[in-house]
Amino acid sequence: MTTPTEPTLLRPREQDLMGLPIRRVLPQSAARHCGPFVFLDHMGPHTLPKGQGVDVPPHPHIGLATVTWLFAGKMVHKDSLGSDQVIAPGDLNWMTAGHGIAHSERSPESERQIDSPIEGLQFWVAQPEATETGTPRFEHVAGKDLPHWQEAGADWVLVAGEWQTRRAPAEVDSPLALLDSRCQQAGQITLQKPSETWQWGLYLLNGELSAQQQPIDKYQLLVTGESLTITWEAGAHFVVFGGEPLGPRRMDWNFVATNTALIDDARQRWQNHQFDPVPGDDGYVPYPSKQ
């Protein structure tokens, strides 16, 4: 997988998912990953008209954790473990696929009764080889249970992983950190690398900032293998994420794995309807045609 050796600025590709605007931030040819983070979609900001909603039917994953972090709107997560969870802004959904899990993501009925704003991020975090065929699991962490603090004129949340003396509740499989920062005042901070091979990513959602002494535009991602120095103006909102790279991975549709055999097996199991079903949701996303 491509690993930038110098700070690399990336612009997302704009796409459409069932009427919802999506920015595909990772992967890109210039950076296939940032530490163990191999995928990032930014949905919205968008307003769904009354009577409409997000409807992503049951689909499968292996070898990764999906990380859902909302800024506006609500979603209902259901999965083949029997999880049935509403996620709201400030809460974390962390679903670890292991050898295989299916899940759906839909707007709750309450959101369909109004003009509903929606915005959020979804990351995929590759699992280490030691756990990629392990037991699936799901965790929901309420916003009040995440570490919050103020530093350098900004409000910080540790969404997942560890940073300095803080540890977020969700169980992770490799060293990583995911932080959200909303800046009340102009300020600056330097985030050191916890280890020699650590990579940082910075994604700007709103406002003005620079990193590594270069300005970052809204909706740009900076990936670097250096310690990260960020300077911002009041009103900036950004996320910082990073960790230890895990080595080469194959990505095919919703599957991430260290080898082709695991991908092929997952594809055949999904096409043969051998994944456990999602209770309460009988939808199905077919494996995409290669034609």
pLDDT in tens, 72-127: 999 999 999 999 999 999 999 999 999 999 999 999 999 999 999 999 999 999 99
Single pTM value for the model:
0.95
* The token pair that represents 195 in the structure block: 């280890």
Handedness of CA 111, 115, 120, 124 (dihedral sign): positive
- Residue 190 CA, chain-centre distance (Å), reads 23
* The token pair that represents 207 in the structure block: 């406002």
Task: Please determine, for residue 3, whether its predicted confidence score (pLDDT) is greater than 70.
Answer: no
Confidence of residue 5 (pLDDT cuts 50, 70, 90): low
Note the pLDDT tens digit of each residue in 241-276. 999 999 999 999 999 999 999 999 999 999 999 999
Note the pLDDT tens digit of each residue in 42-79. 999 999 999 999 999 999 999 999 999 999 999 999 99
Percent of the chain clearing pLDDT 90 (strictly above)? 92
Produce one character per residue of 35-56: b if its CB has 16 or more CB atoms within 10 Å, e if not: bbbbbbbbbbebebeeebbbeb
Q: Which domains can be identified in the chain, with CATH numbers?
A: 8-271 (2.60.120.10)
Task: Please determine, for residue 2, whether its predicted confidence score (pLDDT) is greater than 90.
Answer: no
Handedness of CA 165, 171, 177, 178 (dihedral sign): negative
CB 68 within 8 A of CB 122: yes
Average pLDDT over all residues of the chain: 95
